[in-house]
Amino acid sequence: MRTIALVIEYDGARFHGFQRQPELRTVAGELEKALPVLCGAPVEVVGAGRTDAGVHATGQVVSFETSYAGPLERWPIALAGILRGSGIAVLRAVEREHGFSARYDALARTYQYRILNRQAPSPLLRGRALFVRAPLDLAAMAQASTTLLGEHDFTSFCAQVPERGRPLRAVESLAIERSGDIVELTITADSFLHQMVRIIAGTLIDIGRGRRSADDMASILAARDRAAAGATAPAHALYLTHVRYAQPL
């Protein structure tokens, strides 16, 4: 048996999230339909990030085991035909050591939240970025974001606290950059709580619009109460862009 890791891209608007769900179209479900066509036997995929419905990916990683011996450099080409029209693309395939898990061996994940910040919406970016007409104070947003760096209890930024384990997460970096009309919030952490990035994005947008002060972020974090933070930003502007491993993919 071989352990294979795939780096994939997908349009989250076409799926009810990553995780397989009975009678619903999901990324894992579509992959588990397509891969047996190539591999000749059923497979079960494990994803690095269990993205919610509507969330996109440009660098999601999945792993699975197969006895198929086909050359890895041909996998993206072969799967492009099998997955045609599905909303999923396989960017590359890499063989890993036996027992490798896309989820449990991940050291960090990077997400990006994209905001279109101008007077008029864009029909070309509809479903790809959040339209915010009001000017955003990026300096205030950046100041507030420094409060979130390091390991903290992120209960205030969690839609559903995990039943097992603690709500502690370690945020390595949180950058806020503007390029023309696009503002990008890029955050890297060891892992994320449920809807954590979207709630952080919603809170930072409130700060950028002047609805909250940058100094409020410390009290929001310390409250450990979801009601203290801002609204959950929409899923359609969120992207899983990279997953880091000890041995890069």
Which of 74, 96, 118 lies at the terminal end of a domain, its last residue?
96
Burial 37-58 (b: 16+ CB within 10 A, else e): ebbeeebebbbbbbbbbbbbbe
Mean pLDDT of 5-32: 96
User: What residue numbers bound the domain in which 52 lies?
Assistant: 2-96
Average pLDDT, the chain: 97
pLDDT for residue 165: 75
**How does strand 238-244 pair with strand 108-117?**
antiparallel
* pLDDT of 120: 98
- Report the catalytic residues: 52
> What value does the mean pLDDT take over residues 232-241?
98
> How many separate domains does the chain show?
2
Q: Give CA–CA dist 224/201, Å, rounded.
A: 17
DSSP assignment letter at 74: G
Q: How far apart are CA 61 and CA 70, in angstroms?
A: 20
Q: Across-strand partners of 166?
A: none
Q: What is the pLDDT of residues 113-160, one digit of tens each?
A: 999 999 999 999 999 999 999 999 999 999 999 999 999 999 999 999
**What residues are paired with 88 via a beta bridge?**
10
CB 90 within 8 A of CB 7: yes
User: Are 70 and 121 members of one domain?
Assistant: no
The residue among 49, 72, 96 that closes a domain is 96
What DSSP state is assigned to residue 14? G
Q: Supply 44's token pair.
A: 């079960």
16 lies in the same domain as 71? yes
Is there a contact between 68 and 6 (Cβ–Cβ < 8 Å)? no
Region 41-48: mean pLDDT is 97
Residue that has been written with the tokens 């507030």 in this structure? 144
Q: Please check whether residue 249 lies inside any domain of the structure.
A: no
Of the three residues 75, 96, 117, the one that is the final residue of a domain is 96
> What is the C-alpha radius of gyration for the chain, rounded to an integer number of angstroms?
19
| SS3 state at 72 | helix
Q: How confident is the model at residue 163 (pLDDT cuts 50, 70, 90)?
A: confident
Residue 103 lies in a domain: no
pLDDT at residue 56, rounded to an integer: 98
Task: Looking at the structure, tell me whether residues 115 and 233 fall in a common domain.
Answer: yes
The pLDDT score that the predictor gives to residue 193 is: 96
- Domain-located, residue 67: yes
Cβ neighbours of residue 124 closer than 8 Å, sequence gap 6 or more: none
Determine the pLDDT at residue 151: 98
Same domain, 57 and 141: no
In this structure, what CATH number is given to the domain that contains residue 142? Answer: 3.30.70.660
